[in-house]
Amino acid sequence: MISSRRFAALRAMGAVKMGTVAMGAVALGAVALLTGCAAPIDPSAARESLTEVAEDSTPPEAADLYDAELHPDPIVDPRDCSPVLVITVRGTGEPSKGQLLSPVARAISKAKPRQVDVLDLDYPADGDVNEGGTLGARMLIDTLNVQAEACPEQRFVLLGYSQGALVIGDALSAPEARLVGGTVGAVSEQAAEQVLAIVFYGDPRFVGGEGFNEGSFDSAVSGLLPRPLGSLDAFADRLRDYCVARDFICQSGSLDLDESGHVEYFDNGMQQDGAAFAVDRLDALDGRDRSAGEGGDGGDGVETPEADPAP
């Protein structure tokens, strides 16, 4: 969460607010939650809001407001040192609860009882991707860095859908490879080592040729805003990027603007697949921990927390 003192300062500067676009998005998300379906998507509006990120060369106000050199103090406070911190970064217009990533986080928590703390990144997730995404990238980077310093044994699982995948991917990339958050600092080496698993769905920055991709996508087709090939190589063995063939966000070559492709992840089994990938990574870490207790170092040179016994 944003630290109380920082929130007060940002509110006074007019940086923390909810405009009519965000309010409308939340309303749509609330309806979706009540009906058990995904929030309605306007394909044309979705494409426009994302392509504006690349086409509009005017720096957003957030670029200065969250510039890490101008404002180096973290904008978040540390959380408790749970063995695992799962961070969800939701898609445009999704509510904090009942989002695509909620079942994924719950499955991970259920598999690792009493070990997991879940944080939904409190960024706007509205149609102004440049502004809100910049804040999201700064919040994510600060959260990872603050937690790594306060909790060196904690491990991070990062889950992102749509705009949320863009935010996570840019935060983990070098500033020159980003579309949002070029000024907001970088994830520390220690924090990067503590990232254990990353799962994306419907990533606008999807690159068809990456080896960590999963799904029914065409490898010759990339997303609306493909990141430079290799931008996430440092995390390749810890990342799964799910994309389906009819998703016009991660398969920009599709002429069909049917929104059903972008919400197919709600019921095509990929939520379970993503959770299983993260749990497998945690299980492997637990195994290394047991080996380390018998004289090893956990296999990555970093001390790791021991798993709680099963109830």
In-domain check, residue 245: yes
Phi-psi domain of 85 (left: phi exceeds 0; alpha: psi -120 through 50; beta: other): beta
Q: What is the CATH number of the domain that holds 249?
A: 3.40.50.1820
- For residue 77, tell me if it sits in a domain: yes
Q: Which ranges of the chain have pLDDT less than 50?
A: 1-37, 297-311
Is residue 310 in some structural domain? no
Total count of domains within the chain = 1
Contact 53, 170 (CB under 8 A): no
Is residue 304 in a domain?
A: no
Rg of the chain over CA atoms, in angstroms? 19
Write down the pTM of the prediction. Answer: 0.80
Predicted pLDDT of residue 41: 59
Q: Does 308 fall in a domain?
A: no
CA distance 278 to 286: 12
pLDDT at residue 7, as a whole number: 38
Q: What one-character-per-residue DSSP string does 74-126 give? A: -SB------SEEEEEEPPTT--SSS-TTHHHHHHHHHHSTTTEEEEE-----S
| pLDDT at residue 304 in the model | 35
Report residue 82: phi and psi, to 5°.
-70, 155
Classify residue 302: in a domain, yes or no.
no
C-beta of residue 244 within 8 angstroms of C-beta of residue 215: yes
C-alpha distances in Å from residue 51, one per residue of 41, 94, 201, 252: 16, 20, 18, 11
Q: Using N-to-C axis directions, what is the helix angle for 43-55 and 129-150, rounded to 10°? A: 70
pLDDT score recorded for residue 256? 59
Question: What pLDDT, in 10s, does the model give residues 115-168?
Answer: 999 999 999 999 999 999 999 999 999 999 999 999 999 999 999 999 999 999
Residue 228 three-state SS: coil
The answer to whether 180 touches 125, Cβ cutoff 8 Å, is: no
Q: What pLDDT is attached to residue 292?
A: 57
Q: Does residue 305 belong to any structural domain of this protein?
A: no
Q: How far apart, in whole angstroms, are the C-alpha atoms of residue 251 and residue 253?
A: 5
**For residue 21, what pLDDT is reported?**
31
Domain carrying residue 52: 4-293
CB–CB of 232/265 below 8 Å? no
pLDDT of residue 58: 84
pLDDT of 169 reads 98
CA distances from 246 to 215, 262, 264 (A): 11, 7, 9
